[in-house]
Amino acid sequence: MADTPAPARVRFAPSPTGFLHLGGLRTALFDWLFAHHTGGQFILRIEDTDQKRYNPESLQDLMRGLRWLGLEWDEGPDIGGPYAPYIQSERKEAYGKYADWLVENGHAYRCYTTAEELEELRARNLPYDRRHRTLTPEQRAAFEAEGRPSVVRFAAPLTGTTTVHDVIRGDITVENTSVVDPVLLKSDGLPTYHLAVVVDDHLMEITHILRGEEWIPSAPLHKMLFDAFGWPAPEFVHLPVILDPSGKGKMSKRRTVVDGKEFSPFVSDYVTGGYLPDAMFNFLANMGWSFDGDQEIFTRAEAIARFDVKDISPKATALPFSKLDWLNGMYIRQMAPSELHQALVPYLAPALGMSEGDLAHDRRLAELTPLIQERIKLLTDAAPMVDWAFLPAEAITYPDPAQLIGKKLSAAESLDVLAAGAEIVADIEPFEVAALEAAFRSRAEAMAIKVGSFLAPVRVAITGRPVSPPLFESMHVLGREESLARIDNARQALHDYAATLA
RNA sequence: GGCGCAUUCGUCUAGGGGCCCAGGACACAGCCCUCUCAAGGCUGAGACACGAGUUCGAAUCUCGUAUGCGCUACCA
């Protein structure tokens, strides 16, 4: 059964103009998956041929995001490789050389059209009119003598059609005349994307081009270039775009509010937002590809074994973030408690005002972790669930004393409950969860109060909140003295409150 | 406008002529469990864009329409 595909060389080729976003991460993920599936290489190549939009922070963000997800590259700018360098601005001479070759062989020509002239055409909604495609040597010499800057344009075939085979969509055919002699080499001497991508994919022996579907319209041009050079073209795999959660339009490159909720396209926001790399990996792998009809959760190894570019769906997808949250919760519940404890520390330490070192060895957090494990979806959910345990009793105020009154109980009855609770907490031996539970339950029964109602006042007294981790465990975390202090404070608060009611 | 790509529950998807009066998942609703909240279990509601054709038979093939999206730079 094991089909052994030829090792593929696939590259993720972002341009360092902004921060890594989810769409880019998904592309990189598919690159990585396919490379590993075939036993090939995953290559990171930086396409920084647009110096105007270059953003120096971008590269670091890009690499950090990729590594966070676990997408290590086999060749790339920081680790080198047999086809180095992997940053296009450092490969400038090569592009010039290949552009010259095209010019010499009649596949390209120098164009001296000025920006103003181009602007004129655009204003009239006209494409470039190939005006310098057939310049005489004299005309060319005249422009050069003038000192006019020039670009190199591709001399696209003027008749016929070009067909590109896309692995996901099949054949795509366009009229050659629709390719209007695009610029290959800019007047600053750097190549445009079109030249650079073709030259580098060939030089780096890329076998499969995975990129967003916004590149479909220029794929025929790339095919023409491979043909002009006499090089075999790699397989084209155009990935479906990722849409805003609203489902309308390409995912924007900034934080947006959809249905009253803010969502971010930036990977770094998910790192700080408490998401687990494994969950994000699983989530993204399900965008445009699926493991099979009814298994949503799978390991990286399982995905690698099954992944194939030809199974990718051509349909654009809106990101279902609620599913990401669900997945994150699933992965959190699968963690060993000690592992979760460690993962929580960097998120909790600032919120609790503690050092990471202290918190990593804190007994309370170790004890609390398994209690909140099935109650949090994000690592950032933990703080409001455990902060009460790290506060002194005096800091637990009861701004809404009415919360200390149990369901179907009067204030007086609730006061009685707290009194009973204080008695139990003071006397119970040993001060352990099982003993506490047995004592509270039998006392509730003795007082003919439902357990839920009986525990409610105590819960608020102990944690300051009507919703908390399991009560007996919570008291155990605090210890006898601290628990008692809180119940006493709560009794006072409720007593004062009851007085105002009367 | 031109060119291109796409179209199964609200969303992510399975399915590629009969297995489908369409399966799974998230979200949603109800019930169960339960010290709160979760988690878990069960149940429910919910889709083949439309129209022609091909065929004994179409979600699946063909054509058209509609809608959406993308591209149309000396940006990638």
Look up residue A178 and give its DSSP letter. Answer: G
Which protein residue has its CA closest to C1' of B23?
A293
> What pLDDT does A249 receive?
76
CB proximity A418–strand B (7 Å threshold): no
Separation of A338 CA and B11 C1' (Å): 35
In this prediction, the residues of chain A whose per-residue pLDDT falls under 50 are 1-2
Q: Considering all nucleic acid strands, name the nucleotide whose C1' atom is nearest to the C-alpha of residue A183.
A: B74
- Cα dist. A21→A71, A265, A300, A424 in Å? 15, 5, 21, 55
Q: What are phi and psi of A318, to 5 degrees?
A: -90, 135
Question: How many C-beta atoms lie closer than 10 Å to residue A237's C-beta?
Answer: 22
Q: What are phi and psi of A368, to 5 degrees?
A: -80, -30
CB proximity A189–strand B (7 Å threshold): no
> What pLDDT does A2 receive?
45
**The token pair that represents A80 in the structure block:** 């080198």
Please state which CATH class domain A393-501 belongs to: mainly alpha
Q: Considering all nucleic acid strands, name the nucleotide whose C1' atom is nearest to the C-alpha of residue A441.
A: B35
Amino acid at A461: A
CB proximity A271–strand B (7 Å threshold): no
Q: Which of residues 98-137 of A touch strand B (CB under 7 A)?
A: 113-115, 118, 122, 125, 127-128
CB proximity A293–strand B (7 Å threshold): yes
Q: Which of residues 57-76 of A touch strand B (CB under 7 A)?
A: none
Task: Give the whole-angstrom CA distance, residue A131 versus residue A112.
Answer: 9
Q: Which residues of A395-407 are buried (b: 16+ CB within 10 A; e: fewer)?
A: ebebeebebbbbe
Task: Give the whole-angstrom CA distance, residue A58 versus residue A67.
Answer: 14
CB proximity A472–strand B (7 Å threshold): yes
Query: A189 — alpha (psi -120 to 50), left (phi > 0) or beta?
Result: left
**The token pair that represents A34 in the structure block:** 């396919």
Task: Give the whole-angstrom CA distance, residue A411 versus residue A49.
Answer: 72
- DSSP secondary structure string, A163-177? EEEETTTEEEEEEGG
Q: Considering all nucleic acid strands, name the nucleotide whose C1' atom is nearest to the C-alpha of residue A125.
A: B1
Task: Give the whole-angstrom CA distance, residue A183 versus residue A152.
Answer: 6
CB proximity A473–strand B (7 Å threshold): yes
Separation of A46 CA and B15 C1' (Å): 39
Q: Considering all nucleic acid strands, name the nucleotide whose C1' atom is nearest to the C-alpha of residue A190.
A: B74
Which of helix, strand or coil describes residue A42? strand
Nearest to A26 by CA among A324, A333, A325, A292: A324
- DSSP secondary structure string, A61-117? HHHHHHHHHT---SBBTTTB-TT---BGGGGHHHHHHHHHHHHHTTSEEEE---HHH
Q: Considering all nucleic acid strands, name the nucleotide whose C1' atom is nearest to the C-alpha of residue A329.
A: B39
Separation of A473 CA and B57 C1' (Å): 64
> What pLDDT does A250 receive?
81
> What pLDDT does A455 receive?
97
User: Which nucleotides on chain B have any atom < 7 A from a protein Cβ?
Assistant: 1-8, 10-15, 23-27, 35-40, 68-76
CB proximity A283–strand B (7 Å threshold): no
Q: In three state form, how does the secondary structure of A233-260 look?
A: CCEEEEECCEECCCCCCECCCCCEEECC
Q: What is the pLDDT of residues A298-310, one digit of tens each?
A: 999 999 999 999 9
- Residues A91-239, CATH architecture: 3-Layer(aba) Sandwich (3.40)
Task: Give the whole-angstrom CA distance, residue A147 versus residue A119.
Answer: 20
Q: Which of residues 348-377 of A touch strand B (CB under 7 A)?
A: 374-375
Separation of A375 CA and B39 C1' (Å): 7
Separation of A374 CA and B24 C1' (Å): 24
> What pLDDT does A125 receive?
85
**Model pTM above 0.80:** yes
Domain locations along chain A: 91-239, 256-334, 337-388, 393-501
The catalytic residue positions of A are 253
Q: What is the pLDDT of residues A344-356, one digit of tens each?
A: 999 999 999 999 9
Separation of A235 CA and B64 C1' (Å): 32
Separation of A93 CA and B36 C1' (Å): 69
Q: Which residues pair with A236 in a beta bridge?
A: A166, A209
Separation of A103 CA and B35 C1' (Å): 81
- Helix (H) / strand (E) element for A335: namely none
Q: Which residues pair with A111 in a beta bridge?
A: A151
Nearest to A87 by CA among A16, A187, A27: A16
Q: Considering all nucleic acid strands, name the nucleotide whose C1' atom is nearest to the C-alpha of residue A195.
A: B76
Separation of A278 CA and B26 C1' (Å): 18
Q: Which of residues 30-59 of A touch strand B (CB under 7 A)?
A: 47, 49-50, 52-53
CB proximity A172–strand B (7 Å threshold): yes
Q: Considering all nucleic acid strands, name the nucleotide whose C1' atom is nearest to the C-alpha of residue A249.
A: B69
Please state which CATH class domain A256-334 belongs to: mainly alpha
Q: What are phi and psi of A390, to 5 degrees?
A: -105, 5
